[in-house]
Copies of this chain bind each other. A is one copy, B any other.
Amino acid sequence: MFRKTFHPRSIEGRPSVPKTLVEAIDVSTSKAISLWLAETGHDQRDYELQALEPDQAEALSYLLTPESAEELLDTVSPHTAWRFLQKLDQARAAALLDTLDSDDAARIIELMDEQEKQEVLLAMEHAQSASVRGLLAWPEDTAGSRMRPDFLYVHPDSTVQKAVEVARVDPDDLEQGVFVTVLEKEGQRLVGWLSPAALVLGRRDQPVSTLMTPVSKVKQWALGPLDDQEHVARKLRDHDSGVVPVMDGDFLLGVLTDDTVSDIMNEEATEDAERQGGSAPLDIPYMQASPWLLWKKRAPWLLVLFVAEMYTGTVMKAFEDEIAALASLAFFIPLLIGTGGNVGTQITTTLIRTMAQDGVRLRDIGRVLGKELVTGILLAGTLAIAGAIRAWTLGVMWYVILTVTLSLAAIVLWSTLIASVLPLLLKKIGLDPAVVSGPMIATIVDGTGLMIYFLIAKALIPIL
């Protein structure tokens, strides 16, 4: 708190700065809520808002000004906002939703069940609910469902001065990097758009058409309304703008604002991480997921993997006589198949991350395979030596040592091959390579690795 003493705007020392949301509600002034907001990060807000009792939530709803309501509901997760609104009566909930941009309101409303949704939309202001209904009509996770449908616009023959006046209507928009669009007429074809920088640098009497980014350029980073939101990341990597237009032909339907874009990128990265962990994406913040939901998302994949892994039992049963004849063979099973799984997991995670960022394409399959096979040979050598040492320390017979050493090398190479090819193959047939999770690779390598091990054992060990 040392830094704060430097500047006159510090609010330290004032008696009434509430430390928590509950304290702010107890103070019972709108000012206290604003002070709390000013001092609190987004995660903290989310956390404290979740924890409110229904009567505290109701008290809060009366203390929120339109500005602080927008600030609060816009910075917590849609789930947290939704659960907060559930604690209020419908008229209050609708009034708070009216303070938000329609895309932010839609994100919260889409979580409600059909009846709740219809009721709250009826209670909302007409323009806002019409706008929200329009957004909810697009399929989930499309650019259309996430865009902001209202935007500032001027005509191509307007001056910079006129565009500035239009922008003054909602200064927050411009702060968020929202562009002023240039349309032929309201609801007509897009002609170009004006960045805040263009407005700064242009002369006030200059026509906007001389400063705007022409529609041909804008289209290069536009999405269609039905495009999957995951394409956003790729569009942005090629352009400096943080705002993505949603266009249908030459018509502008809306824009994905700066913060929507970063929300989307975050959501997509989380989904990929969850898939990579061998689970279906949760779609809601982890801390708000019930055990029942977690079970629903995890159990199907666990059962798929379980069924796939059952194959290992069949392999083991086929070699029952060998295991009975030489129990020490079994000692190495977890080590061999575990190592195979680890080698494969290392490859798929790197490869899938690179593919998600467009860094590897199908035509690179030769380069990827070449690189991974050479690495695989180096790793196979390394681990074979480690395996030989381990087998020797367990005091097993020399032919078991030899079997373990060769099997490790073979399993590492086999796992390398599977893990390098599978993600690219999945992409080729149009599936999301992110489903090739570590657990899936481990499962595939377990059964086949056992076969490799027992076949080598049978070939090398005289008593089998």
A residues with CB within 8 A of B: 3-4, 6-7, 9-10, 41-43, 164, 167-168, 171, 174-177, 195-197, 199-201, 204, 214-217, 219, 236-238, 240, 242, 249-250, 258-259, 262, 266, 269-270, 273-274, 276-279, 282, 285-287, 289-292, 294-295, 298-299, 301-303, 305-307, 309-310, 312-314, 316-317, 320, 323-324, 327-328, 330-335, 337-339, 341-343, 345-354, 357-360, 364, 367-368, 371-372, 374-375, 378-379, 382-383, 386-387, 390, 394, 437-439, 442-443, 446-447, 450
Given known contacts A174-B201, A346-B298, A379-B298, A259 and B278 CB-to-CB distance under 8 angstroms: no
What separation, in Å, do the CA atoms of A108 and B351 have in the docked complex? 24
B residues in contact with A175, CB < 8 Å: 195, 197, 240
> A9-B216, A201-B168, A345-B438 are known contacts. Are A274 and B353 too (CB-CB below 8 A)?
yes
A303 touches B342 (CB 8 A): no
Closest chain B residue to A305, Cβ basis: B342
Task: Give the CA-CA distance A328 to B249 in the complex, in Å.
Answer: 66
A279-B201 contact given A7-B216, A240-B259, A383-B302, CB 8 Å threshold: no
Compute how far the CA of A156 lies from the CA of B120 in the bound complex, rounded to whole angstroms.
Answer: 48
The verdict on A371 contacting B294 (CB below 8 Å), with A242-B177, A285-B359, A330-B323 known, is yes
Question: In the assembly, what is the distance between CA of A10 and CA of B450, in Å?
Answer: 60
Could you say which residues of chain B place their CB within 8 Å of the CB of A273? 273, 276, 349-350, 352-353
Write 29 A-B pairs (CB below 8 A) sorted by A numbering.
A3-B249, A7-B216, A10-B216, A164-B200, A167-B200, A174-B197, A196-B199, A240-B258, A273-B352, A277-B345, A277-B349, A278-B345, A278-B346, A287-B359, A291-B375, A294-B372, A295-B375, A305-B339, A306-B383, A307-B386, A309-B335, A309-B339, A313-B332, A316-B334, A317-B394, A320-B328, A324-B327, A334-B450, A341-B442
Q: Is the CB of B216 within 8 A of A242?
A: no
CA distance A298 to B375 in the complex (A): 9
| Bound: A217/B7 CA distance, A | 10
Q: Inside 8 A of A330's CB, which chain B residues have their CB?
A: 316, 323, 330, 333
Contact status of A327 and B323, CB under 8 A, knowing A174-B200, A285-B354:
yes
Q: Are B42 and A282 in contact (CB under 8 A)?
A: no
Q: Determine whether the beta carbon of A359 is less than 8 Å from that of B200.
A: no
Return the contact of A438 from the options B176, B343, B439 (Cβ within 8 A): B439
| Minimum CB–CB distance for A224 against chain B, Å | 11
A342 and B289 contacting across the interface, CB-CB below 8 Å: no
Residues of chain B within 8 A of A310, CB atoms compared: 335, 390
Max chain B CB contacts within 10 Å: which of A195, A276, A334, A383? A334
Indicate if the CB atoms of B359 and A43 lie closer than 8 Å: yes
Instruction: Assess the A378–B438 pair: CB atoms within 8 A.
Output: no
- The answer for the CA separation of A364 and B289 in the assembled complex, in Å, is 14
**Are A438 and B277 touching (Cβ within 8 A)?**
yes
Q: Are A171 and B201 in contact (CB under 8 A)?
A: yes
B335 and A312 within 8 A (CB): yes
* Closest-CB distance, A345 to chain B (whole angstroms): 5
7 closest residue pairs by CB, A with B: A277-B349, A291-B374, A312-B334, A196-B196, A174-B197, A7-B216, A291-B375
CB–CB A349/B276 < 8 A: yes
Are B323 and A379 in contact, CB atoms less than 8 angstroms apart? no
Rounded to whole Å, the gap between the CB of A183 and the closest CB of chain B is: 15
Write the nearest CB–CB distance from A366 to chain B, whole angstroms.
Answer: 12
Nearest B residue to A277 by beta-carbon distance? B349
For residue A167, which residues in chain B have a CB less than 8 angstroms away from its CB?
197, 200-201
List, in ascending order, chain B residues with CB within 8 A of A338's CB: 305, 309, 312, 337, 442-443, 446
